[in-house]
Every structure is written in C-alpha cells, then in structure tokens.
A and B are shown apart, each in its own frame.
Chain A
C-alpha cells in the first residue's frame, strides 16, 4: 500500500504540489491525468523518493520513504521514465535490461548471477524483447524502445510500477500494445501500477481509477466514469469537449471540438 498524506512539495522555493492525499492499494491500476504543468511528473518524483516532501509524508506499507534505503526501494518499486536515457555510446538491449538487476547485486558484485539471468530472460519473454537482445538501443523503433525500458523496470521484480507517459511518441498501435502489456502485468502479477497519461481516452480505457490534477491539487479522484465528465474536463482543461461512450468497453470517450465548429450552425447546443 502506497500512501500520500497531505504532501506538499516542489522545486527551489516554488511549490508544485499542494496538500495531496490518496492511497493506492495492492493490485490497483491508477492513472494520473491533468493539463501541462499540473504536477503529474512531480507527483511521480515524490512517490519514488527523487523529491522529498516539504510537508506531509509518503509511506509504503506504513513506513516513510525517508526510512527506506534506495536499494530496498528499488527492489519494490520500479520507475519507467518518459524516454530512454541519452548515452554517448551504444548499449545492447540485453545489457541495458541487465542493469535492472542492480538492486539485487551485492555491493561491488561485478557479474550478474544465474538467478539474475533467469529473471532477465523471463522479463524479455514477457515484453517480447528476446529478439532484440543484441541490437543497440539507438537502433530501436519507438515501440521497441518503450518495451525495453519496461523490461529493465520489470527486471527489478517490483511490486509497484510507476510510468511517466509511457505512450507519448508512439502511434496508436504501439500505444495499445504498451498499455495492454502494463495491464497484463497488473492483472496477472498483481503489480500496482501508477501511470501518468496525457491521453484522456487511453486513461479512460486502461485505468481502474483516475486522479485528475489541476494546478498542483487533486481536482477529482474516482473511476473514469466519475472523473471524465464534460463539466469537469472543461473546467480543468479550459476547452469544450463532448464525452461519449466507447460502444465496446462502455468507458467514457472524450471528443474535442475545434473553435470553428463551436460557433458554426452544426455546433454544439448543450441546453
């Protein structure tokens, strides 16, 4: 169980998040949505001990993150960054994924052991990266790259997976592929997933619960049906939208309306 209690934090002296409280349980799949600059990435940073809370606290099974060492935390929680780190040399996919075993290696242990190789083989199967093994990171396509980053995170055998916009820069085919993978991990391995998503419709389809941030505070928290209403979205994003239902999944589907259409005859008459 990961819990935030009245957390306020930010950078330098500027507060980005204000008085945030919520609890995520084992096996939850939580989406974090909100406009640019609303504090989504900052929220991931305070949950992963990159940024300390100024006020309040973040606890994992009742223990404050400040009491948990990075090494222990890394065995329980993995973070998938938005993009691949930029390197001035090339790593192979396999070597990159193997680095995910770092929290399990003894200090100054230079070579990974049998168990590490077994876990890595397993996560490569899971993420369909076995065929990429010897390829260099920079030769991968967007989707392959994302699967490789996720594979490294899974090599940490985490109970909690934090993802920062895992589908940005991907086409819809790959978006679905990545999120299907994430949900499968959540459903089959009971991994707690917290992911920041930009796309409201993907958030609606894939997340059990959503947190909508506005200017560093929680504006609304609940199921996609509760959070994704046109009144709420219009208030938070300052734009006109229509919310329909996906005919297959019956999840809310958000449609946007360009300015020209708003004023035309065919435009929207809400009352």
Chain B
C-alpha cells in the first residue's frame, strides 16, 4: 500500500514539474520572444506581454484543460465506456446553440450565453433520462447524443440564415480559443473548476467501485443514485464552464484520460489527479504551438489538440495494447 502511494506521489511530482516547464516555455514563446532568463525580471513592455497577455492565457489553458480531462475521467468511469467524452452529453451542443442564438440577437456576453446553453441542454438530458428517481446510464448517453444532434442541426439553420459577420463570430467561437482577456472571468472560472475538481477527487474511490457496474456497486454498499447524480452534475459543470469561456476544444477530454490510463493504470485515485495535471499540460502545449507555428497568425487550438493528440494516441495505441471495450 505504502509503495503504491509512494509511486503515485512520484508520478504527480513528475507531472507537476512538466507542468511548470511547459508553462515557462509558453510564457517565453510568442511573436515577441522573451528569453527564459528574463521571465523572472521582466521590464516595461515585456512585463505587460507576460502578465497581461500570456499568463492569463496560460492559466485559462491549465484550468480548461484540467476541467475537460477530469470531466472525461468521470464520464468514462461512470458510463463504463471508453468513447465517452465531456461533450457527449450535450454540453458543447447546448453551449454552441446558446452562443449562436446570442450572436444573432446581438447579445454580447458570449460566455454567459454559452453557459446558459450548456445548462439548458444538460438539464434537458437529465430530466429526460430520469425515470422514477432512477438515472439510467444508457438513457443519459443516448439522450445526450440526440440533444447534441438536434443542437447542431439548429446551429446549421441559424448559420444558414445569419449575415456574414455573424457567421464569422459563430464559427470563431465554435473553433475554440483560449483568448480571453477579462481577468475577473478567468478568476471566476478557475475558482469554480478548482472546487469541482477537488470535490471530484473525493469521489475517486467510489468511481472505482462504480466502474465495476451499477449492481456490483450496490452490492458493495454504494448509494448509486446519489453518486451518479453528483458525478453527472460535477462533470457537466466543469465541461460547461470550460466550454463557455473557451469554446469547443475537442480531444482533451477524450484522449488525456486514456493516456493517463496507459501511464498510471485505471485506479481513479491516481487517474483523476494525473489527468487533471496532464489536461492542463496538453492544452497549454497545444495552445503554444497554435499561436507560434504560423506566427503572427494563430491556428485554432482545437486543430492542434486534434492532430497532436490523435496521432500521439494512435502511436501509443499501436505501441501498447489498450483495451477499448471487449
């Protein structure tokens, strides 16, 4: 037991070091290069670039990446399905619909619109999937997928009717970006996500039990309805908050949990915290690539997470056999 915990702590320290290194790298790189030596004593314009532009973006990348990865761990665990990701349950569809509607209506506060959209979709899914106080996992999944389809159909309808500048606004949001400059919004989002992650961690052992199956979990004395409800709310909240500030950044929530399962194994007590760190690392790294590779122009970060994450994942998949459902 002690040796296992020791190994876990080792992995966490390693990831924390990588996280710091990646953050420093992200601080240093960009259209205006700030050498690492100057990061700790920036002057004048450099100080503004570092603390007003890059640092907020890095913090947002860390918390959004962490939120998506942890939500992925929670949903894959409770649905016992390796293909589930935070967006599967309609969070992204709802958020995108909310944003599209408000772009058309000229409503300016897009994060709020996105969050309300996500909240609407998730509540709909929840109440449809709930029967006589029982949350049916298969119903949740199917309803979520259907709500997502309906949402994207309506978004297409809106886009076909929209004017060009509105269309651009919608597309830009859907592609996802970490460019958010409002410091109080970043603080609020970080606070919500950190609290949600901390609570999720308390459920990590219960997630192990739940991943055996619902009946098995009942036999082991777990109150599964309360647990499923709480986990569903936590995961959706994290995904919803992340989506509403950063748009739809794909692959983080699907791939990071799988990567970490390869690295640390399936025990959620270590899978969840390592995924949290790795999600942040992965997103900040992807974002740094996205904004430097054709500098001064920027690529959508979702393009990088998709290409980088997908190909790395296939590489590891062929290296080691990973079980994706039997």
User: Which of these, B211, B222, B269, B324, contacts A102 with CB under 8 Å?
Assistant: B222
B205 lies within 8 A of chain A by Cβ: yes
In the docked arrangement, what's the CA distance between A105 and B208, Å? Answer: 14
Choose the segment among A108-116, A186-194, A198-206, A255-263 that binds chain B (4+ C-beta atoms closer than 8 Å). A108-116
A147 lies within 8 A of chain B by Cβ: no
User: Which of these, B218, B261, B266, B324, contacts A50 with CB under 8 Å?
Assistant: B218
B204 lies within 8 A of chain A by Cβ: yes
Number of A-B contacts (CB under 8 A): 79
Residue of B nearest to A105 (CB): B205
Q: A85-B216, A91-B266 are in contact. Are A99 and B326 (CB under 8 A)?
A: no
B324–A74 contact, CB under 8 A?
Answer: no
In the docked arrangement, what's the CA distance between A72 and B218, Å? Answer: 11
Which A residues from 100 to 122 make CB contacts under 8 A with B?
Answer: 100, 102-103, 105, 108-112, 117
In the docked arrangement, what's the CA distance between A138 and B266, Å? Answer: 14
B80–A88 contact, CB under 8 A?
Answer: yes
A70 lies within 8 A of chain B by Cβ: yes
- Chain B interface size, under 10 / 10 to 19 / 20 to 34 / 35 or more: 20 to 34
B1 lies within 8 A of chain A by Cβ: yes
A78 lies within 8 A of chain B by Cβ: yes
Residues on A with beta carbons closer than 8 Å to the beta carbon of B82? 88-89
- Chain A interface size, under 10 / 10 to 19 / 20 to 34 / 35 or more: 20 to 34
Which A residues from 59 to 116 make CB contacts under 8 A with B?
Answer: 69-75, 78-79, 81, 85-91, 95, 99-100, 102-103, 105, 108-112
Closest chain-B Cβ to A54's Cβ sits at a distance in Å of 14
Chain B binding surface, main DSSP class? loop
Most buried by B among A49, A88, A91, A99: A88
Residues on B with beta carbons closer than 8 Å to the beta carbon of A8? none
List B residues at the A interface (Cβ < 8 Å). 1, 5, 80-82, 202-205, 208-209, 211-213, 215-216, 218-223, 261, 265-267, 269, 323-326
Complex A-B: 22 CB contacts under 8 Å: A50-B219, A70-B218, A70-B221, A70-B223, A71-B222, A81-B216, A85-B216, A86-B326, A87-B212, A87-B323, A88-B81, A89-B266, A89-B323, A99-B209, A102-B205, A108-B202, A110-B205, A110-B269, A111-B269, A117-B1, A138-B326, A156-B220
